[in-house]
Amino acid sequence: MKIFYDENICVRCLACVSESECGGVTYDGGRLHFDETQAEDWDNIAAICPVAAIEVRRSPDWTQQRSHTS
């Protein structure tokens, strides 16, 4: 599993940080950080994003996806 985050469309509403229960999503220095090792409900975190800036991918083909930021 990988988290793909598009910071260009993110509106910094921080709903994902609020939804994160295990510290998997943090906001520091004006940037979101994703720790995929945390036991989060990643599908729910991605779904709560109002602009679909977060995607959860389970496919082994990461090359055709958005750039990964963490």
Task: List the chain domain ranges.
Answer: 2-57
Nearest to 50 by CA among 21, 23, 10: 10
* pLDDT at residue 61 in the model: 60
**CA pair distance 3, 57, nearest whole angstrom:** 6
* pLDDT at residue 59 in the model: 73
pTM value is: 0.81
Question: Where do the H-state alpha helices sit in 1-70?
Answer: 15-19, 42-48
**Is pLDDT larger for residue 7 or for residue 61?**
7
Q: Which of the listed CATH numbers 3.40.50.1000, 3.30.70.20, 3.40.50.980, 3.50.50.60 matches domain 2-57?
A: 3.30.70.20
What are the pLDDT digits (tens) for 8-61? 999 999 999 999 999 999 999 999 999 999 999 999 999 999 999 999 998 766
CA angle 16, 21, 44 (to 5 degrees): 50
Q: Are 9 and 38 in contact (CB under 8 A)?
A: no
